[in-house]
């Protein structure tokens, strides 16, 4: 049976709430289904105590969810746009991430913050950003960014069961993507990447919506006789370096693609690690594909012009091949 990304997130939440009474949902408009309909119907099923609307108070609701996580709940908090996570940063960075370490292991924060990122449809500069790199800078957090519905289903379940604070980044462009869900499939573990396509000439490393672009680029490269391997990171913190290193050892070339701006992005971290761990394997400099260093514009022509895609990935690979 096929599900959209939104439907499958709802199914994962529904199943986890049914399985574990500690799981509670909160966020702006979640009782009404949330801005994107992910939580639609869950209040009717689980009651207003477990699916709670909040005021537009990102600082307080993130603190509230963290305090509740210290005391036996497993909150799943929706921050409507990752752009608004700016208002939740104090708690996430100074509290949620550090509680376990600062308390010498006495307390933990089993919290999932679901948020939605990326550019699509003229959402403009304050509702389109890809800010996930900020969070991989903070020890104690986990950052997950699924690339497809089936992956989101399993990863959300794994995140809820993990026991540590997880930022779960959903790309708005993927929300309508449909995929079949294999019955009885195991949830992918947090921290493990997936080889989405095997190849021998170059490794394309991507996450979230850019995995689709990387697969399209691999298809185009294949027509030109270049065999590209595609790695879907799934988890951004921690990074699955063994999977990346094994692929680079085979292909000797790597291109990292993300929608976030290239500057200070996750690609920089991966490139540095490939340089340190796989230097002798490389036949070409590691290249990055990302957004130019510009806010996301409003007009459709400008938005399209700015966003990186499969063409940019193909060009990077061609540059490597010389």
Partner 1 sequence: MAAPTLNDCKEMYARLWRIRLFEGQVQRLAGAGEIPGFPHLSTGQEAVAVGVCAHLSREDALFTSHRGHGHVLAKGSDMQATMAEILGRQDGLCRGRGGSMHLVDAANGVLGATGVVGGNLALAAGAAWAAQARGESRVSVVFFGDGATGAGAFHETINLAVLWRLPVLFVCENNGYAEFTSRDEHSNVANVSKFAAPYAMPAQTIDGNDLLAVHAAAGEAIAGRRKGEGPYLLECMTYRMAGHYVGDAQRYRSKEELAAMQEKCPIERLKRHLVERGVAPAELDAIGERAKQEVQQAVERARAAPRPDPATVLEGVYSAASLAGIQG
Which stretches of the chain bind partner 1, using CB under 8 A? Answer: 24, 49-50, 52, 54-55, 57, 59-73, 90-91, 94-95, 99-108, 110, 136, 139-140, 142, 162-164, 189-191, 237-239, 269
CA–CA separation, 180 and 3 (whole Å)? 6
**Pick 109 or 150: Cβ nearer partner 1:** 109
Q: Is 127 a catalytic residue?
A: yes
User: Is residue 202 within a helix (H) or strand (E), and if so which, with residue range?
Assistant: strand 202-206
**One-character DSSP codes across 29-88:** TGGGT-TTSTTTTHHHHH-TTTEEE--S-HHHHHHHHHHHHHTT-EEEEEESSGGGGGGG
**Pick 60 or 120: Cβ nearer partner 1:** 60
**Pick 100 or 197: Cβ nearer partner 1:** 100
Which residue in 24, 127, 171, 258 is the catalytic one? 127
Cα dihedral sign, 5-11-12-13: positive
Q: Is 301 a catalytic residue?
A: no
Residue 169's DSSP bridge partners are: 115
Query: Do the bridges between strand 166-171 and strand 142-144 make them parallel or antiparallel, or are there none, so unpaired?
Result: parallel
Q: What is the DSSP letter of 139?
A: T
Q: Give least dist CB 64 to partner 1, A.
A: 4
For the chain, the distance separating the N- and C-terminal CA atoms, rounded to the nearest angstrom, is: 45
**Pick 115 or 251: Cβ nearer partner 1:** 115
Q: Give least dist CB 231 to partner 1, A.
A: 17
Which residue in 16, 28, 43, 58 is the catalytic one? 58
Q: Give least dist CB 236 to partner 1, A.
A: 10
Q: Give least dist CB 204 to partner 1, A.
A: 21
Q: Give least dist CB 254 to partner 1, A.
A: 18
CA–CA separation, 228 and 167 (whole Å)? 30
CA–CA separation, 225 and 232 (whole Å)? 22
**Pick 57 or 200: Cβ nearer partner 1:** 57
Q: Hey, is 8 helix, strand or coil? A: helix
Residues annotated as part of the active site: 58, 127
């Amino acid at each position: 049976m096929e599900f959209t990304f939104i439907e499958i997130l709802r199914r994962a939440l529904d199943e986890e709430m049914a399985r574990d009474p500690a799981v509670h949902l909160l966020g702006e408009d979640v009782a009404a289904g949330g801005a994107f309909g992910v939580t639609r119907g869950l209040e009717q099923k689980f009651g207003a105590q477990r699916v709670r609307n909040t005021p537009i108070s990102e600082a307080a609701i993130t603190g509230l969810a963290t305090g509740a996580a210290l005391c036996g709940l497993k909150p799943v908090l929706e921050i409507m746009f990752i752009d608004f996570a700016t208002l939740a940063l104090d708690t996430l960075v100074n509290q949620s991430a550090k509680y376990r370490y600062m308390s010498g292991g006495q307390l933990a924060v089993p919290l999932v913050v679901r948020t939605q990122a990326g550019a699509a449809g003229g959402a403009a500069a304050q509702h389109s950003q890809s800010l996930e790199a900020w969070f991989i800078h903070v020890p104690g957090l986990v950052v997950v960014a699924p690339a497809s519905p089936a992956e989101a289903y399993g990863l959300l379940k794994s995140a809820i069961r993990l026991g540590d604070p997880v930022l779960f980044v959903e790309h708005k462009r993927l929300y309508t993507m449909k995929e079949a869900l294999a019955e009885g499939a195991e949830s992918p573990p947090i921290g493990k990447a997936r080889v989405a396509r095997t190849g021998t000439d170059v490794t394309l490393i991507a996450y979230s919506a850019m995995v689709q672009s990387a697969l399209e680029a691999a298809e185009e490269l294949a027509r030109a006789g270049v065999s590209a391997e595609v790695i879907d990171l799934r988890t951004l913190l921690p990074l699955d370096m063994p999977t990346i290193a094994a692929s680079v050892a085979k292909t000797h070339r790597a291109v990292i693609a993300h929608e976030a701006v290239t500057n200070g992005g996750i690609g920089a971290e991966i490139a540095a690690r490939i340089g340190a761990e796989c230097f002798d394997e490389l036949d070409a400099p590691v290249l990055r594909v990302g957004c130019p260093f510009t806010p996301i514009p409003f007009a459709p022509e400008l938005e399209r012009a700015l966003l990186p895609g499969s063409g940019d990935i193909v060009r990077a690979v061609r540059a490597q091949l010389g």
